[in-house]
A and B are shown apart, each in its own frame.
Chain A
């Protein structure tokens, strides 16, 4: 038995209708004041049509369900969706309003193809920076032909996750991190593979390599049996996001934090896919942490926490971060910090984390990258070019100063973290860019 269709939501007058009713009202008032019937008679169809439009925007389709997806590569984002019918009058008068993705520029209007069975819509956008976001469902509204009133059409509408981060991060999970557990074997891997500790025997698959065949067991049983091994855990990793306000101001902080969130989620997802234990912490005024774990539930937990990370109003001292980190995580844990390298000894986390026993790698999203994306296409003047060179030199100097306490990845091109991947594969004590 199907559920009864939901009741139609009330219609809403659009600004155009308000303008029309206001104009008609002015005609009525003026006609009465000047005692002339001409504007009064002209006001009648204007008022009547506004009422009829409110009525007309309520009939027809009572409910429609939505399926949608995000496609495209890199900065190119293509959102496509389908509304299931049937639709009266071929879906005429039904519009889809897709909410904007933060930081995205639409490459054109929303394209809509209507038919009695379904309505297809698509919108292409260009992302300025990596982003992780959950889009609210699009509004589906029915409107009258004059655009005077609109009424929402209810139905099942899922949200859409938009996750765009540097493509190198998808390969990051294959990096074998150094063992960071104090007691080897304390936490065993659940992965079964072809090397490591012996796990058990199983019936050999066709084409099994001879080295994996357990010949003694095969001889006893009378059929080919192969060995299984429990893979070694490659190490755990802690991802630390710095959400403290900086001297760059709220606007720059928010944009850099959005980029950091996307990058951090990409790193977490890549490692969690290979069953590495990942911990997450964010430091604003105080530290908030999710302990080390792995698995699908942990991935969702980390994603939620990353999405909820907002710029804090008060900046806690860096020393506090290292101190509070020891409550949740054991020293010796590989720590990937996404923070700013400011050169301020009271602000930078790296020295305190290093002293606290956390071997840290700093990924520092550069504010200079934002400047480039904003003024793209315009030729800088001589003074501007000189100012940029000075800013670059000052930035390099600050990043170089941070190398005293740990490796620093200067993240200038937001669509690439190849430097981080290179460093994790082949750690080195020199500048990585």
Chain B
């Protein structure tokens, strides 16, 4: 039996997903309005540092998530409540998930395989944001409620699937 080594993912995650995450965080940082371009600097430095960390950590890539999560959290809380910041906040979260799927410690092609999962996440976010956008006075709570509704629907679907696939006792 001959087993060839599994093809690893590209170093530090795919360059495309890393660049995409850095770009979305940079835009989000710009929209925060922090002085001296502090927002984009935080975002880009965190992403570059995390990508380097993932590249050098040889399989233990969980700790590399912390800089990106820290930067993302800081920029989200620093962003003013506007349509553009709400949009780029969600896009940044989706870009982060895509970067997460392109983990170098996992088999290559994670980003491609994650498209259905990310599609569901993008759908829930898109629904929430579009409802917020389309409402004339702009009531963000409605969008959030829509998002939570999507999450609740998912919960119901998961619970339903579990109950259907659970082992049943023999009929008497």
Which residues of chain A have a CB within 8 Å of any CB of chain B? 7-8, 10, 15-16, 19, 23, 26-27, 30, 34, 36-49, 51-56, 58, 80-82, 92-93, 108-109, 111-113, 120-122, 144-147
- In the complex the two chains form, what is the Cα distance from A34 to B157 in whole Å? 32
Interface of A, secondary structure class, is helix
B151 A41 Cβ-Cβ under 8 A: no
Q: Could you tell me the distance in whole angstroms from the C-beta of A89 to the nearest C-beta in chain B? A: 8
- In the complex the two chains form, what is the Cα distance from A23 to B62 in whole Å? 14
B120 A48 Cβ-Cβ under 8 A: yes
A40 B144 Cβ-Cβ under 8 A: yes
Residues of B within 8 Å of A19, CB to CB, are 62, 65, 69
B5 A38 Cβ-Cβ under 8 A: no
Interface of B, secondary structure class, is helix
Please tell me if B140 contacts chain A, counting CB pairs below 8 Å: yes
- In the complex the two chains form, what is the Cα distance from A265 to B150 in whole Å? 62
- In the complex the two chains form, what is the Cα distance from A376 to B71 in whole Å? 45
- In the complex the two chains form, what is the Cα distance from A15 to B66 in whole Å? 13
Residues of A within 8 Å of B155, CB to CB, are 51
Counting chain B residues whose Cβ lies within 8 A of the other chain, the interface size class is 35 or more
Please tell me if B76 contacts chain A, counting CB pairs below 8 Å: yes
Please tell me if B92 contacts chain A, counting CB pairs below 8 Å: yes
Residues of B within 8 Å of A56, CB to CB, are 116-117
- In the complex the two chains form, what is the Cα distance from A112 to B4 in whole Å? 7
Residues of A within 8 Å of B129, CB to CB, are 41
Please tell me if B94 contacts chain A, counting CB pairs below 8 Å: yes
A38-B86, A52-B120, A146-B97 as given contacts; A58 in contact with B114, CB under 8 Å: no
Kindly identify which residue among B62, B81, B125 contacts A37, using a CB–CB cutoff of 8 Å: B81
The winner among B3, B118, B147 for most chain A CB atoms within 10 A is B3
Q: Could you tell me the distance in whole angstroms from the C-beta of B149 to the nearest C-beta in chain A? A: 10
B1 A45 Cβ-Cβ under 8 A: no
- In the complex the two chains form, what is the Cα distance from A199 to B2 in whole Å? 50
- In the complex the two chains form, what is the Cα distance from A1 to B172 in whole Å? 22
Residues of A within 8 Å of B4, CB to CB, are 111, 113
